[in-house]
Structure 1
Amino acid sequence: MWDQRLVRLAVVQQLRAAYGIKVKGGRAQCDRRRQETATTETVGKIFGVALNALPQAVVPEYGHIPSFLVDACTSLEEHVHTEGLFRKSGSVIRLKALKNKLDHGERCLSSAPPCDTAGLLKQFFRELPEPILPADLHEALFKAQQLKTEEKNKATLLLSCLMADHTIDILRYFFNFLRKVSLRSSENKMDSSNLAVIFAPNLLQTSEGHEKMSANTEKKLRLQAAVVQTFIDYKALKKAITKLLVTIRENEDKV
């Protein structure tokens, strides 16, 4: 078993040495774990609940994934050809009713209109107590997107190694789903760029889109979307992360 502190330290050092990206210490990640563990009193609820406190489903090749996320993605896979999926808004009244049913333990997504399920999925990420893409890594992720393509991908992968294992599993599952949606863009008109623009405010829980537009705000919105698009477009995320960690570990052993 690898010492996670040493692995994190090695990743942080490599990010600084190879790409000039500085990452703050690991206290925030520990705090997030405590918050996730402390939210277990919200039994039954789906929205606004920490990921670790939600009912989980075991998905082959991914591990434990929140059951709601699996149900929503599975349902939407049947409608992946729908034009404007995630862009078109669902009914506000139906969304409120569906959300209430889900929070009371009802499994109602199979009969819900696809745009309503898509709206709930965005709301699910938006209402998490902490953004699934950790706030303490946002600035570093933005800096990574400004590198050349190959360096951008490597730096983004290294940064993902600093996230909790459960978070990485969920992100791999969800980004693989979004990639499937993007591969049907000739029908649904939702390529990875369009999906990234829509999901960035939800996955990073940002509010810039509601502020007065300025050059700095516009740049930040572009970088937020670029982070999400990098993850959507990256194939075999788990293999890439594992390979990076093995390389880092081998380099550490040589020192």
Structure 2
Amino acid sequence: MCMSILDRGVIAEQQLNTYGIITPDCSKTNGRNMSTWTWSNKRKVKVFGAPLESLQCHTDHGDVPRFLVGACTMLLEHTDEEGLFRITDSITRQKALRVQLDAGKEECLSTANPHIVAGLVKQFFRELPEPILPTELHDAFLKAQELTSEADRTAATLLLSCKLPDRNTSVLRYLFYFLHSVSKRSAENKMDSNNLSVVLTPNLLPPGEGTENMETNLKLQRAVIQCFIENAQDFGVLPQCLLEKVPVMLGGETSDPLPQDREENTLGQRAERAKKNLARFATWIHRTFGCAS
């Protein structure tokens, strides 16, 4: 069954309403920065501080930037490194590596210090012109964490991931799948999903303006990121129980299939492509480290 990204968002929104969570339309978030992103900027900046739409993507991972794939691939060989993403290294060496990456020299990642590379991954997300998790959804993310049961909190948080623009979904699904792999080596690296959420939340879900309830909000924001790390395989994916109700929720009959979208940019085709990419990623992890993904 194929459906458009709009349908996916509508279905998630209807279910979120049952939790008392109202969400705005984020389908136009992608590309809104490109109008002010000049060609001179594109020539100067290759990785950091650029909109996702301007970055070169990896051929095997759809909309995922080449830098992120290269960095995560390198870091997968160092998932036993204690304090990965927490420990910082030389700021001078980090700046030097950043200059090389912005000059298009991605091969330098393979020999870099893993703590420096992890630091640059955080910096990459922190310096995006717009947060990778759209600002319009931040209040909804926090409200989802206030639901009574853990099952409802998890379900609502994952439903909110279905409201993201396609490109953001692809990038974050790849990132969280990678972070899930890092967390599974927490016995060695001391970085379980909770510790990873502590150091990554400011870069992925930055605090809003003002200081009111800052401490409480930060705790809720960390819970969002921890949920995504622990449930990476379900990020941006509608649960099966909702897919079975799709015709009714979209105003059709249960016996009638949805119209088939002939364009390549359909949820079904994108999900299948993402599934294949994640399968290759998982196979590589298993072959390299001898552990399940």
Give the TM-score category using the shorter length. Answer: 0.7 to 0.9
1: distance between equivalents of 2:72 and 2:32?
28
CA contact (8 A) 1:76 1:118 kept: yes
Higher helix proportion, which one? Answer: 1
Is 1:237 equivalent to 2:234 in the alignment?
Answer: yes
**Deviation, structure 1 residue 6:** 4.6
If the length of structure 1 is used for normalisation, what is the TM-score? Answer: 0.87
**Higher RCO (C-alpha under 8 Å, 6+ residues apart):** 2
Give 1:98 shift: 0.7
Which residue of structure 2 lines up, in the alignment, with residue 70 of structure 1?
69
The amino acid that maps onto 1:132 is I
Query: Which residue of the partner structure matches residue 8 of structure 1?
Result: 9
Cα distance in 2, alignment partners of residues 207 and 34 from structure 1: 20
Identity %: 44
Tell me what 1:34 maps to.
32
Secondary structure, aligned partner of 1:64: coil
Question: CA deviation digits over 1:79-128, x for unaligned, max 9?
Answer: 11011111111211011111111111112111111111011011000000
Give the unaligned 5+ runs of structure 1: none
| Alpha-carbon distance between aligned partners in 2 of 1:31 and 1:237, rounded to the nearest angstrom | 22
Instruction: After TM superposition, give the deviation of residue 37 of structure 1 in Å.
Output: 6.8
Alignment partner, residue 154 of structure 2:
153
Q: Return the alpha-carbon distance in structure 1 between the equivalents of residues 112 and 220 of structure 2.
A: 33
User: Deviations along 1:171-214, whole A, 9 cap, x unmatched?
Assistant: 11100110111000000000000000110000113378xx87x7
Question: Residue in 1 aligned with 2:105?
Answer: 106
**Any conservation in 1 of the 2:158–2:236 contact (CA below 8 Å)?**
no
Q: How many residues align?
A: 246
Q: Quote the residue 2:19 is aligned against.
A: 19
Cα distance in 1, alignment partners of residues 123 and 241 from structure 2: 33
Which ranges of structure 2 fall in alignment gaps of 5 or more residues?
Answer: 255-293
- Report deviation, 1:164: 1.0
Q: Is the 8 A contact 1:84 1:189 kept in 2?
A: yes
AA in 2 matched with 1:123: Q
User: Which one-letter code corresponds to 2:86 in the other structure?
Assistant: R
Structure 1 counterpart of 2:216: 219
Q: Give the TM-score taking structure 2 as reference length.
A: 0.77
1:58 aligns with 2:56: no
